[in-house]
Structure 1
């Protein structure tokens, strides 16, 4: 009877022991499987991270290359703008020299014409001497007035130069030298640091002689004065007007460069 009771108990104990070992074995297998899966996932994530890092490195290299090319392009554009401005200034200087030389020739020609038109001296006569006054020879022509006034301005005599240019405008208001004479009047004021008067005269040049090439010159000088005074908005408007109203002038090219530096 006792043997019969012990046998089932032993079987149960042995069965319980066997079940526990099997569970442990299964658990070990599951752990191994999870470890393998985790290792594979870690490997995949590591591969993805390496790929992302490689792409970032490539992107950074590309951005640096683009930045380098952009910097070179900006440098090239700036150099081109500077060179263009320098060439324009050279052309203006050469043009100014040619105009000054032409002005000198015109003044000389006017002087010769006046000398040729002067009355010839009257031979002495045995009769009574006519003491009545004769008309004085004509005054200097516009070219002579312009040249003599310009010479005074170059010597630093701005007041004397201004008087000469003003006389030219009074005596020869329709002369081809009138617009440039008015520009120089403005420059005499600028030389005296009277920029308000200079800007006013620059405005008169544009108002009275809008179709003259000197209108663009006056407007450009006025725009530079505005920019120097810190009136950026007004300066930008003046530069825009030059580009719009005088697109083929040398000043238009200079105005475009000014607008670029102002961040149009």
Structure 2
């Protein structure tokens, strides 16, 4: 930029020098006029130079802003894709859990049928061999926690019908126990595993009505929504999930509900 300016100014400077050194050839008025014209041209060239620099700076700024804008757009797109993938992963995990439950149910059903074909197989799954009393009844003698653990062990072993009976016995024996809400929750979960989706919903609703402040309430609501989905009641399930997120936004169940809702939109 500067070499071009010097080339343009050089003849003018020579002319000004000649005019000032040979003032005798011109009168004062003409010399002053030439000098004033030269100064005006020099100032105009300076202004043009500043204007060109300003335009160059503006262009560089626009280019930089465009690059940043493109990077931000790409980042936003990647974040959106990541959120979608997380939602899809949550649904896949849920489907896998449901499939595993069904497989376990089929195994239990097959095992029960095989046992029915065996001689002397009439003992109930929730009892000991030889017609002993139910595990929960035996555990009552040892106290609240032992009775709860006995019923919960039935659930962990996959004996969901036995777990339902055990937890119901527990609630009759210890209705005021601090574990009572949990017992009611596991009744609903056992019924869900047995594909008694309507019964599971009723059981979880009973938990919410009787123990509104219990820590298991958010999980019970999520289980209700899961059972509603199994029944094909998508609208009701969405409402249950929305209510769960609104009432218990910081719960683990709400996090699962949010991902399930986001993926279903």
Total equivalences in the alignment: 152
TM-score (norm 1): 0.50
Separation in structure 2 between the aligned mates of residue 262 and residue 142 of structure 1, nearest angstrom: 42
- Cα deviation, residue 70, structure 1: 5.2
Residue equivalent to 1:154: 156
Higher relative CO (CA 8 A, sep ≥ 6), structure 1 or 2?
2
Separation in structure 2 between the aligned mates of residue 250 and residue 75 of structure 1, nearest angstrom: 23
Task: Indicate conservation of the 8 Å contact 2:245/2:257, yes or no.
Answer: yes
- Cα deviation, residue 158, structure 1: 2.0
Residue equivalent to 2:81: 75
Query: Which of 215, 218, 223 is matched with 1:216 structurally?
Result: 218
- Cα deviation, residue 181, structure 1: 0.6
Residue equivalent to 1:140: 142
Task: Indicate conservation of the 8 Å contact 1:213/1:249, yes or no.
Answer: no
5 Å-filtered alignment, 1:58-137, equals: 71-79=77-85
Runs of 4+ in 1 over 6 A off after TM superposition: 64-67, 82-86
In structure 2, the CA distance between the partners of 1:229 and 1:160, relative to structure 1 (3 Å rule), is closer
Separation in structure 2 between the aligned mates of residue 196 and residue 85 of structure 1, nearest angstrom: 22
- Cα deviation, residue 238, structure 1: 0.3
Query: Which of 180, 188, 195 is matched with 1:193 structurally?
Result: 195
Separation in structure 1 between the aligned mates of residue 73 and residue 80 of structure 2, nearest angstrom: 10
Residue equivalent to 1:29: none
Offset from partner CA, 1:123-163 (integer Å, 9 cap, x none) = xxxxxxxxxxxxxx972322111111111122222222222
Task: Indicate conservation of the 8 Å contact 1:236/1:262, yes or no.
Answer: no
In structure 2, the CA distance between the partners of 1:229 and 1:65, relative to structure 1 (3 Å rule), is farther
In structure 2, the CA distance between the partners of 1:219 and 1:74, relative to structure 1 (3 Å rule), is same
Query: Which of 234, 238, 242 is matched with 2:244 structurally?
Result: 242
Q: Which has the larger radius of gyration?
A: 1
Offset from partner CA, 1:64-104 (integer Å, 9 cap, x none) = 99986554232233356678999xxxxxxxxxxxxxxxxxx
Residue equivalent to 2:229: 227
Separation in structure 2 between the aligned mates of residue 164 and residue 222 of structure 1, nearest angstrom: 21
- In the alignment, structure 1 segments of 5+ residues that lack a partner are 1-63, 87-136
Please tell me the root mean square deviation across aligned C-alpha atoms, in Å. Answer: 3.2
- In the alignment, structure 2 segments of 5+ residues that lack a partner are 1-69, 93-138
Task: Indicate conservation of the 8 Å contact 2:222/2:253, yes or no.
Answer: yes
SS in 1 for 2:216: helix
Separation in structure 2 between the aligned mates of residue 240 and residue 253 of structure 1, nearest angstrom: 11
5 Å-filtered alignment, 1:202-213, equals: 202-213=204-215
Residue equivalent to 1:169: 171
- Cα deviation, residue 229, structure 1: 2.8
Separation in structure 2 between the aligned mates of residue 225 and residue 252 of structure 1, nearest angstrom: 16
